Chains A and B, each alone.
Chain A
């Protein structure tokens, strides 16, 4: 075992790390083995999600357009560029929320609480995380252009640009991670700014995607851009940002307080668990807690009226305090238009149901709150079913509006292009109503999911360990309805059947929202 210096002398970070490694080895838990185990869980989860996404993407892009209009290279290129911008925006938001420099709770309590050189302890993790982000960026950059059959040079350039942008994103978020000013209960202004930039990029990507898709649908695709030179410029600019941000972040490591590091660690733990279990509820809970702690205060405004109707007004006010949820819901409306521009018409209906359920889920925070918290329900003078129905009103309105906004994509793809497809002759209004009810049912079902139950009958170990059947069903709750409806569309079931299935699913979810 490595000795640490005698009492009175502060051990250097290297000695602390060596001591910890030796202790873990003594317990049969090597640091490398532990890290590899955790990485395996995440990689398997990410691989499952990535494979599903890639498969869906390839089927979309390479589906044989029955209307005979092959996707133009420029339209595909611009859509991929928009997707890249959206990925950068999402990454910035995620990095700003996660820290990105963090420490496990045990390290915060037992190592960083001492007088040890904090910057020295955190530095290896900082560089490792930066390298990981860069590698992920390179991989995503290399994979993103694949659907457009690119040249090797373009793939390599895109990989380099992806790596540089990812490194710049990481460095910027890390530099913005400095603790709040003493005496302030509000969180870091810079972190909020980085998240704001991420949101702006997501909005810009959605808007660009819509413009490109509409131009493609109208038969006037935008001219192809100089992809290679643009990527080079982006890469050079990102390298500069990464260098400056990385230098500032490394210099500020010693000033990161334990609260900042611990909350980031909890978020990373939530992220790891969520990816490993394909379940976002833990991550969402930790992220929401952190988000509202950063916000700290709001301007109190009294409600009006009395009785149960007040709950509806309160739900609306809470939604107004989360404009990013509404923006996210609106941004997802681009998806059916993009699919209409690049894929077989039948996939537009599928995209409408799947993206619609995700969009409506953004509006179910109130429903989730009353469903998850029996203490909250007990305080209110309303029975459970009424409480859930009241909190389903906003998502229902959102579903109707969302489907109305995306219905033109269905019309554009289906008139007259649907001839010969299973959805031929289907009224867009009927399809939109079925999709709206289906999206609402999926969102309500997901929002009223009971706490995960790790008991019950298990299925054999296929890489995740022995998994309880009930747990799988719970994780899929909500998505199961959306996938069922998508399957019905692909199987050629008409909208009356889909509407009936969606209505039954919705009624069932509202009947026993927190008990089944």
Chain B
């Protein structure tokens, strides 16, 4: 449990967020502001509530107290403007079983209005190391390949903020190095980053603020 505030005015504002499961308080009065181009990394042991915090922040779990605002308005997960702005990777990632790896990325790029979707898809496929698996269906992907696809789904579309729950999981060492470089580049491009993480190297490379639960 922790109360800490990153004192920066930003587009994501989390105020005194509290979540309880029955008598058990997962976290209480968590506040943070996340401006463009900055990264807040949430750390803590298993069961500390990192994933629950991210779920509350993006609006798919209801907090017992506090509020989350995006761009000055109450954040509503099903709001198309929020979905257009936030690229989210949590543990409930979904895929169409009948569509190939490349087709998933193509669909996302087009739905989000990317100007040259073909080029964007090819670039992301190469970057996440899935060019050789472009025609594969999701059911045949390894857990690492699946994680790379979900990361690719965040990078193939326009975004103002990335919310990533332990994105380093199931990635090999070169994959983690790539992820760190990519997140630093995202910050440089003005994208806000909120992630939970267990990898000290990734925290060191990316974090502007660390929130320890």
Binding site for B on A (CB under 8 A): 185, 288-289, 292-293, 295-303, 305-308, 310-311, 314, 317-318, 321-322, 365-366, 369, 372-384, 386
Contact = CB atoms under 8 A, between A and B. Distances in A.
Interface stretch (B23-31, B42-50, B74-82, B172-180): B74-82
Contacts, number: 127
A329 B78 CA distance: 33
Contacts of B118: 302
Given A297-B137, A301-B103, A289 B97 contact: yes
B41 to A, nearest CB: 21
Nearest to B90: A375
Assign chain B's interface to a size class.
Answer: 35 or more
A296 B117 CA distance: 24
A301 B112 CA distance: 18
A288 B111 CA distance: 26
A297 B135 contact: yes
Contacts of A314: 96, 99, 103, 107
Given A306-B117, A373-B92, A289 B103 contact: no
27 contacts: A185-B140, A292-B137, A292-B140, A293-B137, A296-B140, A297-B100, A298-B99, A298-B100, A300-B100, A300-B101, A300-B106, A302-B102, A303-B106, A306-B111, A310-B110, A314-B107, A318-B96, A321-B98, A374-B60, A377-B78, A378-B60, A378-B83, A379-B108, A380-B83, A381-B111, A381-B112, A382-B111
Interface of B: 58, 60, 77-80, 83-84, 88, 90, 92-103, 106-108, 110-114, 117-118, 121, 134-140, 153, 157
Contacts of A386: 80
Nearest to A305: B110
Contact of B107 (A289, A311, A322): A311
A302 B110 CA distance: 10
Contacts of A296: 136-137, 139-140
A310 B107 contact: yes
Given A185-B140, A310-B110, A379-B153, 18 more contacts: A185-B136, A293-B139, A297-B135, A300-B135, A301-B103, A302-B102, A302-B118, A303-B110, A310-B111, A365-B98, A373-B94, A375-B92, A379-B88, A381-B83, A381-B84, A381-B157, A383-B79, A386-B80
B57 to A, nearest CB: 13
A376 B114 CA distance: 18
A298 B135 contact: yes
B60 A307 contact: no
B110 A298 contact: no
Contact of B58 (A303, A378, A381): A378
A123 B131 CA distance: 44
Contacts of B101: 300
A188 to B, nearest CB: 15
Contacts of B94: 369, 372-377, 379
A374 B136 contact: no
A380 B114 CA distance: 13
A379 B136 CA distance: 20
A401 to B, nearest CB: 21
Contact of B137 (A298, A310, A372): A298
A380 B82 CA distance: 10
Contacts of B77: 378
